[in-house]
Amino acid sequence: MVAGSGVVTLPYFGPLQPWQLTFIYVGLPGLVLALLFLLIREPLRRPVNQVVGASQSAGSLAALRAFYRHNPLTITFHHLGFLCFTLVGYAFVFWTVSFFVRVHGYENYAASQTFGWMFLIAGPLGPIIVALFANWLGKRGRKDANLIAPLASGVLGVIFIVIVQFMPSSELAWIMYLPAIVFVNGPLGIAYGALAVITQPPIRARVASIYMLVASVGILLGPPITGIFNEIIFPTSEGIRYSIMSVTLMFGLVGSSLLLLSLKHYRRSMDNTREWSE
């Protein structure tokens, strides 16, 4: 629709190309949502105890350092494990259109439209399913539910991504793409929730921001690493499927291993959480 509109001139902005209009149309709903956030009231803040090991107030930089000092392996395995799953997810999503164009002969616009609708429908389901599964595990006494659930989702995501690469037809590839995008998106939301429940309120935002910075490395590296694989190791049009599969298996295995290693340390951090919350 936008591609056929030609150059459009807007007040104050001047002439805009179709690709520029696309960003405006996509961004407009975000402005509406931003205004709705003004209607949200800030929750009441309750006083909390000092963070374990902090000599200053719980919101200080000393408190942040104390939290990382008392949970080193929990945080290290958590951050790096979810970084790997983030890398896999963004590599897979970024190269989806190219995969269907090069391997299944789609036109760019057709592959982009199908991908967009599938991502819109299936993408949000992953974090919701994982959160519900973690809640179910937590009610059954699993202290590490917030890591078990995304770990299971991440492993399933890796499996379905690999399956997509070997489907003999585009129809079957799109069918397998649905569970792949559900499960590969699943771990990304609860990664923050897993941190929040072991972190005291005054430093939660800082801990989340540090994790966001680490996870952004996966966002940054996933697509170009896959492209390098396609250019150097599998330099053919169909090589994109082997590039996606290689990156998925490599970093999926590392991410799964790191989250497995984090489980016992996370359970210990949960025990510490109960102590200071009481």
Amino acid at site 167: M
Structure tokens given for 118: 């599938």
Burial bucket for residue 92 (CB in 10 Å: 0-12, 13-18, 19+): buried
Average pLDDT estimate for 7-21:
74
Structure confidence by residue, pLDDT tens digits, 62-78: 888 888 988 999 999 99
Locate tokens 């150097």: which residue? Answer: 232
**How far does CA 68 lie from the centroid of its chain?**
22
List every span in the chain annotated with CATH 1.20.1250.20: 61-277
Task: Look at the block and give the residue holding tokens 């910075």.
Answer: 213
User: If pLDDT is split at 50, 70 and 90, which confidence band does 237 have?
Assistant: confident
Strand 14-16 and strand 8-10: pairing?
antiparallel
Q: pLDDT per residue over 127-162, tens digit each?
A: 999 999 999 999 998 989 999 999 999 999 999 999
CATH class of the domain comprising 61-277: mainly alpha
E strand segments, the chain: 8-10, 14-16
- Which pLDDT score is estimated for 258? 96
Nearest of 29, 40, 138, 160 to residue 89 by alpha carbon:
160
**Encoded tokens for 111:** 């592959």
In whole angstroms, what is the distance from residue 241 CA to residue 248 CA? 11
